[in-house]
Structure 1
Amino acid sequence: MFIGNNSFTPADLECLEGDAWLQDKIVNSFLAKLQRSANWDRKKRVLVLSSFLADKWEKGSKGIRQWIYKLVRFAIIILLPVCTAAHWFLMAMEPRKCTVACLDSLKSPERAMRFYNYWIEYIAEREKHVPEGLVEWNSVQYLCSQQLDGNSCGIFTYMVSYFNIT
């Protein structure tokens, strides 16, 4: 089975059944498909970053050359799905307003601040390679539904992405 440019084995798809947690490959593929659909009519300019970028941040990797996206300034909204400590949440950035929001179904101000700081470090490093003047960002908070179980954060991340894009 293919979703976008990714192929999936039956084992990959097992995470779609029951109460299993969604894998990075599934989340990234479905959000990439949402991005393509939103950008199809060119009214929305959506950029979805790979969750693997956030993995790099968590591991302290400063080697981001392959992760420098050139379309940041032209996007109306940038979405970054993040999985950390077996929990998915979504970061949503608006380059025109230079705002960053953390949409988290298990609200954690510490986690939100940590990933906001990662974004600031990333964009400062990116600015060295792609100067666009996007260096002054502000953290914003939005009301966000909270999950009542221990395993729906991946679906929550997908649905919040869907509603931000459509």
Structure 2
Amino acid sequence: MATTRVWDVFVRVFHWSLAASFVVAWLSGDGWKSLHLWAGYAVAALIALRLVWGIVGPDHARFSRFVKSPLVVAGYLKDLVTGREVRHLGHNPAGGAMIIALLVTLLGLCLSGWLMTTDAYWGSELVEAIHETLANVALVLVGLHVAGVLWTSFRHRENLVRAMVTGRKRAAGPHDVD
């Protein structure tokens, strides 16, 4: 079966590093403050790099490639529910929306976490509540992301987890979106 490179090394290292940093931050949130802070800073740095790469990186890494309008995302989700969704070589419209939702949520999480270290907001119950809420929203989004990856892998008979490790996917067929 012919394959093609879709995700470059940076995108793949970013993806798994972000996942690991988020897990470390989540697990260290209640007991290991220093580790929690450094994991949060790692998340923030990774996202900053990804934002730049989303503008200057290769084709499938660019936001312009996979961020679609809400109408396109809704149409894709409708097709998904009815079993008529087409396979996308890169991220599908729902995947693109999930990436944006995760990036925005994680940035808010990093910002609220950082604010809690400042003199102005140290001890602020409001900022702490925002931070905890965003952490829970991030967990829900991660769960939805994993479910979407598993569902799409099943529907299109393609191991997307392996593709995010190797960078390669099955080459686009005549009915696929490149």
**Structures share fold, TM-score greater than 0.5:** no
Larger radius of gyration: 2
TM-score by length of 1: 0.30
Q: Pick the structure with more helix per residue.
A: 2
Q: Pick the structure with more strand per residue.
A: 1
